[in-house]
Amino acid sequence: MGKLEPRRLFWQILVRALVPLVWLVPARAQQPALPVSPSPQSPPAEQKQENSATLTSQRPIVSTTGLVHLVATVVDRHHNFVTDLGKSDFKVIENGVPQQIQFFSRETDLPLRIALLLDTSNSIRARLEFEKDAAIDFLDKVIRRSKDLAFLMTFDNDPEVIQDYTGDVELLDSAIREQRAGGGTALNDAICLAAEKLQHAPVPKEQNADIRRVIVVISDGNDNLSDHALSDAIDAAIRSETAVFAVSTNTDWLAIDDSKPNKYNLAAGDKILQQFADQTGGHAFFPYRVDDLAESFLAIGTELRSQYFIAYAPADPPSGGQYRQINVETIQKGLTVRTRKGYFAAAVSPTPTAR
């Protein structure tokens, strides 16, 4: 090999010296922004290598990899929403270990992605018209044009998407009105299908936009035809970071006179609906009478505008596929926090190395 010219030799030496330094340059050195949840294609609590930048005293650097995201609702003893708490008012515990909250905000205006699941099986035939009226009233009050999107799914023998994602309430209302009852009940299959569809929900065009994924299911909770188990449906909702809000149409326990009835024991279907809500950070409603469904839907809409966003990096990062239990509390006595009970960790992607 012949001798290199001095200028060419100089540039080769310079390039070889600079290549290793490329790995030390921060991914973004621009104006920092607030954190966002994983994209719809990303599993909950996506585990990647943390950016070397940490929180600043002002605004955080864009680096949300490896964070667990939670949306929480807080109520007092009288079931009133508490919306004026700060970061220091919360305690997060994962698998028994206290965690440090890294990001916190009051989330009252997130774009909603709602899956409305309407039980059209034969067991709710007598209550279907009440379901329709309450569902339409709910969408009319909650959906904001050009911001929120919803789709309608019915389930009897099989779940079926009747109206795809839309912000047009009139389209949704019309689709609801056309439904008829008949057949068995495949509730678990419907939850699984809705969770998968929400995981790939359309996101706003704005950069780093976040969304709130919600399943609203109206049913008596009975399931006699699903291919999926209850645990499969709960896992699907957790993995898609979706909260399940359930409205029971079970009226077996109602008082036969005009007095306000008391429900001392939940029916089997009610317990299933309660499980969906408890495990995913949603809420289950058991209206006294079928015509009280509208009040339950109104409560759902209010709750979706009265929540907190919490994010933390696990002190002991989990391995891929591992389930971690979460408990969120407040330092104030007498308050109850509703949020999901855990998450499944994603596999850690290998970190590239310089050659």
CATH value at residue 155: 3.40.50.410
The answer to whether residue 278 scores a pLDDT higher than 90 is yes
What number is the average pLDDT over the span 135-143? 91
Query: pLDDT tier at 293 (50, 70, 90 boundaries)?
Result: confident
The answer to whether residue 48 scores a pLDDT higher than 70 is no
Domain that holds residue 86: 68-107+309-344
Query: pLDDT tier at 47 (50, 70, 90 boundaries)?
Result: very low
The answer to whether residue 348 scores a pLDDT higher than 80 is no
Q: Answer yes or no: do 262 and 159 share one domain.
A: yes
Mean pLDDT is lowest, of 2-11, 52-61, 86-95, 137-146, for 52-61
**What is d(CA 198, CA 10) in angstroms, rounded to the nearest whole number?**
56
The answer to whether residue 355 scores a pLDDT higher than 60 is no
Percent of the chain predicted with pLDDT > 90: 57
For residue 36, what pLDDT is reported? Answer: 38
Q: Answer yes or no: do 252 and 318 share one domain.
A: no
The answer to whether residue 154 scores a pLDDT higher than 70 is yes
Q: Answer yes or no: do 152 and 261 share one domain.
A: yes
Q: Answer yes or no: do 84 and 230 share one domain.
A: no
Per the structure, the count of domains in the chain is 2
For residue 182, what pLDDT is reported? Answer: 94
Percent of the chain predicted with pLDDT > 70: 74
H or E element, residue 107: strand 101-107
Closest CA to 135 of 300, 297, 283, 243: 297
Beta-bridge mates of residue 67? none
- Angle (CA) 115-155-184 rounded to 5° is 155
Q: Answer yes or no: do 195 and 261 share one domain.
A: yes
For residue 259, what pLDDT is reported? Answer: 58
User: Cβ neighbours of residue 103 under 8 Å, at least 6 residues apart?
Assistant: 34, 35, 60, 64, 67, 309, 310, 311, 312
Q: Encoding tokens for residue 173? A: 């209302």
Amino acid at 143: I
Flag whether 72 is in a domain: yes
Q: Answer yes or no: do 86 and 132 share one domain.
A: no
Residue scoring higher pLDDT (92 or 353): 92
For 224-271, what is each residue's pLDDT tens digit? 999 999 999 999 999 999 999 999 988 765 544 555 555 557 889 999
Q: Answer yes or no: do 173 and 240 share one domain.
A: yes
Q: Answer yes or no: do 150 and 283 share one domain.
A: yes
Q: Answer yes or no: do 191 and 125 share one domain.
A: yes
Flag whether 100 is in a domain: yes
Antiparallel, parallel or unpaired: β 307-312 and 68-75: antiparallel
Between helix 268-280 and helix 230-239 the angle, nearest 10°, is 20
Amino acid at 58: Q
Number of H helices, E strands in the chain: 7, 14
What number is the average pLDDT over the span 279-300? 86
Q: Answer yes or no: do 124 and 162 share one domain.
A: yes
The answer to whether residue 13 scores a pLDDT higher than 50 is no
For residue 5, what pLDDT is reported? Answer: 52
Q: Is the pTM of this model over 0.85?
A: no
Query: pLDDT tier at 126 (50, 70, 90 boundaries)?
Result: confident
Q: Answer yes or no: do 294 and 334 share one domain.
A: no
* Mean pLDDT score of the chain: 80
- In Å, how far are 156, 163, 233 from 183, measured between CA atoms? 5, 20, 21
For residue 210, what pLDDT is reported? Answer: 81
For 173-205, what is each residue's pLDDT tens digit? 999 999 999 999 999 999 999 999 999 999 998
